[in-house]
Structure formats: C-alpha cells, structure tokens
Structure 1
Amino acid sequence: MDFITSTLNDFYQCCKIPVKAVSYELDEIYKIGYNEEFERLFPLNYICTLIKEKHNCLDDNIKIDENIYYKITNISKLNKYKGFFVLGPISIKETPKDYSSIPYLHLECLNYCSRLLLGITTDKFNKIMDSKCFNTYIKKAIEYVHKHYDKNINIDDLCEYLNLNKSYFCSTFKSATGHTFCHFLNHFRIEKSKILLLETDLSILQIAIYVGFNNQNYYSTIFKKFTGKTPFQYRLHNKH
C-alpha cells in the first residue's frame, strides 16, 4: 500500500493527471487528483468495465467520447495480478463541453505520462529490491543477467558458475524474487528490447538477437506475453 501511494503521489506531483490504482479483483486501492465530478461521470464500476474490456490491450489509449481519454496499465510488469493503474480522464480539447474540470493534455502526451508512471514504479521497485537481503548467490545470478543478458544464458552453466545444485538454485531464486529464473531473464531482455524498438531502426530479428533471443518467433511470443502486443505493434504504437 505504501509503495503504491508513494508512486501515485510522486506521479501526480509531476503531471497533475488524475490517477488511481485498482486491484486485480477491481477494488479501488488508492487515488489522487479526483473530484466529485469525475466520480459522478466515471464511477469505479465504469472503470472496471473498461479494464475488463481492454484487459489484453491495456497500453492502448481508451476513448470515452470524442474528447475524453483514459489509459490503463498494469501496476507490475512482472506480475499482472498486482492490479492496474488508471490514468485520466484527460481531455484533448482545452474547453470540452460539459467536462470543464477535466485536465487538458495532448493525446500523445498521455503515452509519455504512462511511461513516466511506470518509470517511477520501476525506480521505487528497484530500490526496494536493492534493500532486500538477498543471499550472495541470488545477487550474483541477478548481476550475471545484467551483464550477460545478450548472450546465451543456460541455467545449468549458471549453476555451475555459482557452484550450486540446480534444484536448490531454482527454488531459492523463486522464493527470494517471487519469479522463476526464466521469467526474470525473459522480462529483463524484453525491457531492454523495448528501448531498442523505440530508439533505433534495427529490425525485429536484429533486436531479438541483440538481447539474447536466437529465434525471432520465440522473441515475439515472449514479448506479447509480457506486453499484450507484438514487437511490431509496440513500436508502431509508441514510436514518434
């Protein structure tokens, strides 16, 4: 709760965009920037309906009417069951009829604000992870991924490098991080590939190889599993 509250407060101070957190069960966790008009026009049950309808494409801007938009994203990139962030409403016109108190924002800015929110979330999460007392083997494994994610990482070779039993390492890693080693590795690679998709003109195959995948189809499958989009769709939707 403190993590989410702190994240949304920091985001609101930067952007002044109404934002709320909703659990995976669609219960409201925390909100900031809302007023009575917003709650009357867009009550929680309405927001929950949007989440249900858009569950597989949450990164899309959601059009409410001609001028009003929302954006809904997962709270955690690693665990979709953590819930959702709801950004908005925002108006793409400065004086929308009947919505005078809704903040004005260019639609493309909503994407940048969404990335800022996720950036704040990631930064706070990383600080929490850094403060945790992982045992030496888990820290070494994470450091190994950070340095060698673009290479072929074989869990057997990693366990040999750590001088650990494979079964023990796998159970210890999941207990410490909440995720399997394969999930952690794939997520890290996907995050690195997102930067290349938006900041370079490399082909999808080149990017897949660059971040450690030796098969474009497998890369695209994993990418869609984490983001709900193919690499091509993600690039098309977010690159300006």
Structure 2
Amino acid sequence: MDFITSTLNDFYHCCKVPVKAISYEFDEIYKIGYNKNFEILFPLNDISNLVHNEHDCLNHNIKVSKNIYYRIIHISKLNRYKGFFVLGPISTQKCNKNNNSIPYLPLECFDYCAHLLLRIATDKFNRAIDSKSFNPYIKKAIEYVHNHYDQNINITDLCEYLNLNKSYFCSTFKTATGHTFCHFLNYFRVEKSKKLLLETDLNILDIAIAVGFNNQNYYSTTFKRFTGKTPFQYRSCNKH
C-alpha cells in the first residue's frame, strides 16, 4: 500500500469524511468515501479552475452550495507538484433531506480534520524517511541539519565537513530524498519554528533567527510557501 492510499485510508477510518487525492495535472489518484453525487457537486474541472485562478483557495473551506463545503490541501509541504488532497463534501446542516449521504460536520471541526490529514501524512512521510537505507553521507547530512539547523548552514561548508564533492552531494541528496538540500533545510526550519510560534511569545524576527534564518522577510516568504500562511497568520489561527 503506497503513501497516499495509506494516508487517506487512515484518515477516512478516523473521521468518516470523504477524501480524494489528485495529481498536479488533476488526474485522480485515489479516493475513499465517495459516490457519484459528490463528483457532480465538485468535479475535477471545477477544482482545476479554482486552483489555477485562486491560489488562496488552498487550505481554506470552499462553499460549493448551501451548507456544503470542500477543502483543498497540498499533498506535500516539500513539493507542491505532488498534487492535492480534496476533503469533503461535508454538510454543516443536520438532516439535510436532499443530501442525506453527505456527512454532517460543524465547520470548525472541518478545520481539525484538515489538520489531522496533514498530521497523518507528515507522520507517514517521516517514518518513511527514517526507514530508508540512505547513503551514509546523506544520513550524516540529515543528522547535521537536526543538530545545527539553528546555525548558519551552507552547502559548501557541509560538503567540506562530509569531505564530498559539492555536485556529487547535491545530486545524491536529491536522488535519495526527492528534494534539494536547501528545500529540505528550509522545511525542517519551518517545522521547528511552528513550535516557537505556538508555545512562546517571541516576535517573528526572534523566531526566524532562532531556527537559522537571518532574514525575517525570507523566513516569512519561506513559511508561507510551505504552509499557505504567514508566520503571523499561522500563530493567530492556531494559538489558543
């Protein structure tokens, strides 16, 4: 069972909310909990048009008719070209006679479902990374990021530390992980910064510096690229 199928099955068994995965080219990959009526409500063509014309629709609730909502989320935080998860439909009205097959869910709970789906996907991705038999140099590079992410890291210095040719390292890292080293490093730093955003009152600049970014604007831009929100928006939406 592949990553996407396993993620969607686990999510559906937890929440009973219909969900599908589609590629970046808007071909269907896998779905669970769906029926033909759901496809009519929010067909692939509508999803494609919405994503292409309104990028802000990602990670937000999408109202397709009275009381009926969907949500679109990137499959991968690291690589937006992996495609999208489409959650829904859900109905925010109980006992809707015309749509009795659509699960009822308060809109605020739909947000929690979206977070759960991402958490399941992230956990499965991390376990897959941990279980891979990486080249020893790649393992050492990942360990280096884990231990020194809050410091200035550049590929040249890292390759000197590993005693590797820079071109060879970049090529090998991309082949092993599916991502460039800089992409991986920025993702790791953004994930570390989320905890500081939610559990401390540090300002955005201090958080950026604490996780290794030396520029607040670059940190904010990078954070939004991975999450769809600025650090301030993420803190406002999730801190209680």
Taking structure 2 as the reference length, what is the TM-score of the superposition? 0.91
Residue 57 (structure 1) shift? 4.2
Task: Report the count of equivalent residues.
Answer: 240
1:170 paired residue number:
170
The corresponding residue for 1:123 is 123
Deviation of the 1:236 alpha carbon? 2.7
1:10 alignment partner in structure 2: 10
Amino acid at match of 1:34: Y
**CA distance in structure 2 between the partners assigned to 1:221 and 1:170 by the alignment:** 23
Residue of structure 2 in register with 1:232 after alignment: 232
Report the Cα offset of residue 66 of structure 1.
4.0
Aligned to 1:77: 77
Percent identity of paired positions between Structure 1 and Structure 2: 76
The 8 Å contact of residues 21 and 84 in structure 1, kept in 2 or not, is answered as yes
What is the CA–CA distance in structure 2 between the aligned matches of 1:175 and 1:124, rounded to whole Å? 19
Asked if 1 retains the 8 angstrom alpha-carbon contact of 2:20 and 2:85, the reply is: yes
Q: 1:237 to 1:96 in 2, by over 3 A?
A: farther
Matches within 5 A, 1:69-218: 69-96=69-96, 98-218=98-218
Question: CA distance change for structure 1 residues 201 and 98 in 2, over 3 Å: closer, same or farther?
Answer: farther
Farther off after superposition, 21-30 or 66-75? 66-75
Structure 1 residue runs without a partner (length 5+): none
What is the Cα-based RMSD across aligned positions, in Å?
2.0
* Bigger shift: residues 126-135 or 19-28: 126-135
Return structure 1 stretches of 4+ with deviation > 4 angstroms. none
Gaps of 5+ in 2: none
Describe the shift of the 1:238–1:60 C-alpha distance in structure 2 as closer, same or farther (beyond 3 A).
farther
Give the partner amino acid of 1:163.
N
Query: SS in structure 2 opposite 1:90?
Result: strand
Amino acid at match of 2:186: N
In structure 1, how many angstroms separate the alpha carbons of the residues matched to 2:195 and 2:48?
Answer: 31
Change (3 A) 1:233 1:186: same
